[in-house]
Structure formats: C-alpha cells, structure tokens
C-alpha cells in the first residue's frame, strides 16, 4: 500500500502530460487540415505558450500547501474542458481563443503540479532520483499521448481524438494528494503595506525579476528556455516536413513517440550520472547535440530514418530535462524564492521557449521553406544560449566582488 501511495504523484503528472502529448501532436496537423500556412501555424501554436506563461505567476502566487490539492483539482478540470473545445474551432479567431484558454489551464496545472510534487517528497528523499522519475513519468505520458492521438485521428477523425485527450486529466483527479502539514521557510522580502495598492502591484510584478537575481535561478531559466525552444521547433515543423515527404498521421505519431520513448528511458537512470558530471556541463553538451541533430533533420526523409533521428534527439534531451528539473529543487533556495515562484519561473522559461520556437521557425519557414529553416534555426538558437550563459556568468562575476565589499 505504501508503494502504491508513492506512485500517485507520478500517475498525476503522467496522465496530465498524456493529454498534452495528444494535443501537441494533433494541433499542427489539425491546422494543416484546415488550410493554415506554416507561419500561421507557428503563431497559433505559440498562443498556447503565451497563455501558459501568463498563468505562471498567478499559479505560483496562489500555491500554498494547504490549498494545493484544491488548486490541482480545479486546474485539471480546466484542462479537460478546454480540450473538448478544439473541434468547435475551425477558423483563426476561435482557434486562437481555444489555444489561449487551454494554455492558461495547462500552465496553471503544471505549475501547481511541480510545486506539489516537490512538497510531497519525504524528508531525506534523494531529489536527483525523484526528479528523474518525475520527468520520466512526464515524458512517458507525452509519449503515449502522441501515439494514441495519431491512431485515433486516423481511425475516427480529429473530433474524437480531441475528446480522447480530455480523458487522462479527468482520471488524474483520482490520485491527487495533499502535502503533509509542516513549517516551510518564508521567502525573503516583505510585501508592501496593504493600503498601498499601487506599490503592492508593482511589488508583485517585480518579484519574478528579483528572483532571477537569486543564486541558481537564471541558469535554470536559460536551460529551460532553450530546451523548449528546440523541442517546439521540431514538434511543430517536423510533422509538416514529414507530411510533405508522404508520411501518414499514424506514421508521424510513431516517429514522435520514438522521440518520447527515448526521452523517457534516459530519465529514471540519469540522476546519478548528472550528479557526478554537473548539470551545467550536461546542459552545454545536450543542447549542442540537440542543435546538431535538428540541423541534420532534412536529410532524413523516410519513417525509419526520421524515427532513428528522433530517438537520438530524445536520448539527448532526456538528460537535459532531468538536469533542468533537478536545478529547481537543488539550486533554488526556498528561503529566497518560494517553491511556487520557482516552479513558475521554471515552467515560464519553457513557455517563452515554446513561444519563440514556433514563431521564429514559422517565420523563417514561410520565407525560405521548412528544410532551410532547420539549417538556420538550431545553430542560431545554440549560439544565443551560449551568449546568454556567458553574459550571466560575467554578471555574476561583477556582482560577487560588490557583495564581498559591502556598501
């Protein structure tokens, strides 16, 4: 019974991301079926991430242990409801609205889910391994969702496929737990006086910016951004490239599932390796390999070749994702940045990457074609990551002597 109870948080994250995998698989193909151009697909896909990003700070602010379970119930049910709206949206305006609503609901659900998962870890738990299993459950759910969505869409159409995507988060409500009561460190900094509403509003807006200056937060955010950037370039435009090569929906679902299976396999076993090597080195290595593999994607024009390539991408990305999740629990001091806010920044950085990836990829694909886009975007993204890391390191180096000298 104790082992079953320990599995409950993993079931919740797995089921939530099964739905996400299904919707992520279906939406670009659904838009292509409706006749949207590549640039329009990129913008509409990004609307989801924009809404998710907007949801992060409210979710992080609302999160408290005593109401975590109720928040998780509400956000899971919101994901269920918005998943059912897709078949009703057949033009740009309604699709934009549905994408925004769904993104907001999913952003709230995942922010609460990560914070709740960390709070459910027992004292003395090995967080490297626990976060590895967490990201493995996430990826496994995403994998199953993509495979299921492709077959359901082929057999029954997009309407039934989107309805099927609403079932996993509904089932997840059966296994949501509340964190044990206990004292948690209070984040540094006091809120503005209640009577000063203007100052209070500015303080709330400035909180995430101040948090980025806290130790470990900015490197975590940069890694999350570029992992998501590369993922969303490939997840949005690889299916369209594959369609142009003559692959069917089910075949594309299998290709994407191969990526997610490889991604999932590495995660449960990567915690110890990352602990020895260090997540900064893992970040640099995984992003470099990820960019190189996506650069080569247009050379792979059959289902088997694409599947093999996406397996390699999945292996590489799995290590990066575990390193990124570990940094939330290990590198961010809850005495300075609250658990909810750290979770919001973690997912918010990924949302920004999900926004920029499809928009940048879609714009360049519209100008030069999808194949040429894959030759340009991954190297530029990798260069931007290393520039960001170098700038962050230089800023930290300048701040350290000032902190030593004092005022």
Domain map of the chain by residue range? Answer: 2-176+212-399
Gap between the Cα atoms of 286 and 354, Å rounded: 18
Q: Give residue 203's Cα distance to chain centre.
A: 27
pLDDT by residue, tens only, the chain of 407 residues = 566 667 889 999 999 999 998 998 899 889 888 888 877 887 787 788 789 889 987 887 788 878 889 999 999 999 999 999 999 998 989 999 999 999 999 999 998 998 899 888 877 777 767 877 887 788 788 878 887 888 898 888 999 999 999 999 999 999 998 887 764 544 444 444 344 444 444 444 455 666 666 666 777 888 889 999 998 899 889 988 998 888 887 788 788 778 877 877 777 767 677 767 777 788 788 989 999 999 999 999 888 999 999 999 988 888 888 888 777 777 666 666 776 777 778 878 887 887 788 889 988 998 999 999 999 999 999 988 888 777 766 765 555 554 444 44
User: DSSP labels for 194-217?
Assistant: TT-HHHHHHHHHHHHHHHHTSTTH
Average model confidence (pLDDT) across the chain: 81
pLDDT digits (tens, 9 = 90+) for 378-396: 999 998 888 877 776 676 5
pLDDT of residue 140: 82
Token look-up 């360049």 returns 364
Nearest Cα neighbor of 264 from 59, 5, 21 is: 21
Gap between the Cα atoms of 294 and 236, Å rounded: 13
Query: 3-state DSSP call for residue 120?
Result: helix
pLDDT of residue 384: 87
Q: CA torsion sign, 118 to 122 to 126 to 130?
A: negative
pLDDT digits (tens, 9 = 90+) for 151-190: 898 888 999 999 999 999 999 999 998 887 764 544 444 4
311-326 exposure pattern, b = at least 16 Cβ within 10 A, e = fewer: bbbbbbbbbbbbbbbb
pLDDT of residue 404: 42
Fold of 2-176+212-399: Growth Hormone; Chain: A; (1.20.1250)
pLDDT of residue 254: 83
């Amino acid at each position: 019974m104790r082992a079953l109870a320990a599995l409950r948080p993993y079931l919740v994250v797995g089921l939530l991301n099964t739905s996400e995998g299904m919707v992520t698989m279906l939406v670009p193909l659904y838009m292509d079926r409706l006749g949207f151009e590549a640039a329009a697909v990129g913008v509409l896909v990004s609307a989801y991430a924009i809404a998710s990003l907007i949801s992060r700070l409210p979710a992080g602010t609302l999160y408290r242990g005593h109401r975590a379970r109720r928040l998780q119930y509400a956000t899971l049910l919101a994901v269920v409801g918005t998943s059912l709206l897709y078949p009703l949206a057949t033009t740009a305006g309604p699709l934009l609205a549905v994408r925004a609503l769904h993104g907001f609901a999913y952003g709230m659900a995942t922010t609460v889910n990560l914070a709740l998962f960390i709070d459910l870890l027992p004292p003395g738990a090995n967080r490297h391994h626990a976060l590895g299993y967490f990201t493995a459950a996430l990826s496994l759910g995403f994998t199953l969702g993509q495979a299921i969505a492709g077959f359901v869409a082929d057999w029954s159409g997009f309407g039934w496929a989107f309805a099927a995507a609403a079932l996993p988060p509904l089932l997840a409500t059966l296994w949501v737990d509340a964190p044990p009561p206990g004292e948690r460190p209070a984040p540094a900094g006091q809120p503005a006086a209640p009577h000063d509403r203007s100052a209070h509003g500015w303080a709330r807006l400035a909180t995430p910016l101040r948090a980025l200056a806290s130790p470990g937060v900015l490197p975590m955010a940069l890694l999350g951004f570029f992992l998501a950037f590369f993922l969303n370039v490939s997840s949005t435009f690889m299916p369209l490239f594959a369609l142009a090569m003559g692959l069917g929906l089910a075949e594309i679902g299998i290709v994407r599932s191969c990526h997610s299976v490889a991604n999932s396999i590495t995660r449960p076993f990567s915690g110890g390796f990352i602990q020895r090597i260090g997540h900064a080195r893992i970040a640099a290595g995984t992003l470099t390999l990820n960019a190189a593999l996506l650069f080569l994607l247009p050379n792979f024009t059959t289902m088997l070749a694409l599947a093999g390539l996406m397996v390699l991408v999945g292996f590489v990305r799995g290590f990066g994702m575990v390193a990124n999740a570990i940094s939330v629990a290990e590198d961010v001091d809850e005495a300075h940045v609250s658990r909810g806010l750290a979770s919001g920044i973690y997912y918010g950085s990924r949302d920004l990457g999900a926004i920029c990836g499809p928009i940048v990829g879609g714009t360049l694909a519209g100008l030069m074609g999808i194949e040429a886009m894959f030759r340009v975007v991954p190297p530029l993204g990798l260069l931007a990551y290393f520039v960001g890391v170098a700038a962050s390191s230089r800023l930290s180096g300048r701040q350290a002597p000032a902190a030593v000298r004092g005022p």
